[in-house]
C-alpha cells in the first residue's frame, strides 16, 4: 500500500505565472484534502473532496485558487497569477469513509510541494 504522493516536490515560478500541483491519495481513500503551510506554522486547511465532490472550502482559498478531483482519484490544485505571498508548502492528505480503508477522521499526508514565487 503506497502512501500519498505529490508532484512536483519543488516548484519555482515567477510572479504572475500559473502553477498546477498533483496529488494521488492512498488507494481506497475517497477523501482528499489540501493544506498550505508557511514557515514556522502548522498546516492550514484549504479544501477537501469526498469522491468527486468538493465539500468544504476555506476562506484562504481565494478566487485565484482552484482544486479539482474529476474522477474521484487524483486531485489537482491550480494557482493562477501567482503572488509572492503564495510561497509555501502545499500539502495533500487523504482518508477513507469506508471501514476497510480506515477511519474518516484520520488523515495521512503526502510529502508536499514546496512553491517558491520569485
The binding site for another protein (CB under 8 A) comprises 4, 6, 31, 33, 35, 40-45, 48, 55-56, 58, 91, 93, 95, 103-112, 114
Nearer to another protein, 48 or 65 (CB): 48
Q: Nearest distance from residue 104's CB to another protein, in Å?
A: 5
* b/e burial code for range 26-60 (CB count within 10 A of at least 16 → b): beebbbbbbbbbeeeeebeebbbbbeeebeeeeee
Nearer to another protein, 18 or 62 (CB): 62
State the pairing for strand pair 19-24/44-50: unpaired
Nearer to another protein, 46 or 79 (CB): 46
Cell of 84: 509572492
Q: Nearest distance from residue 118's CB to another protein, in Å?
A: 19
Could you tell me if 45 and 31 are in contact, meaning their C-beta atoms sit under 8 angstroms apart? no
Nearer to another protein, 57 or 80 (CB): 57
CA separation for the pair 47, 101 (Å, rounded): 21
Q: Nearest distance from residue 62's CB to another protein, in Å?
A: 17
Amino acid at each position: 500500500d503506497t502512501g500519498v504522493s505529490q508532484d512536483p516536490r519543488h516548484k519555482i515560478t515567477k510572479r504572475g505565472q500559473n502553477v498546477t500541483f498533483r496529488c494521488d491519495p492512498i488507494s481506497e481513500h475517497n477523501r482528499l484534502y489540501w493544506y498550505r503551510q508557511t514557515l514556522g506554522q502548522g498546516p492550514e486547511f484549504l479544501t477537501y473532496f469526498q469522491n468527486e465532490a468538493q465539500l468544504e472550502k476555506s476562506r484562504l482559498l481565494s478566487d485565484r485558487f482552484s482544486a479539482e478531483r474529476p474522477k474521484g482519484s487524483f486531485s489537482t490544485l491550480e494557482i493562477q497569477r501567482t503572488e509572492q505571498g503564495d510561497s509555501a508548502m502545499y500539502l495533500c492528505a487523504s482518508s477513507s469513509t469506508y471501514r476497510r480503508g480506515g477511519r474518516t477522521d484520520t488523515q495521512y499526508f503526502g510529502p508536499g510541494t514546496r512553491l517558491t514565487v520569485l
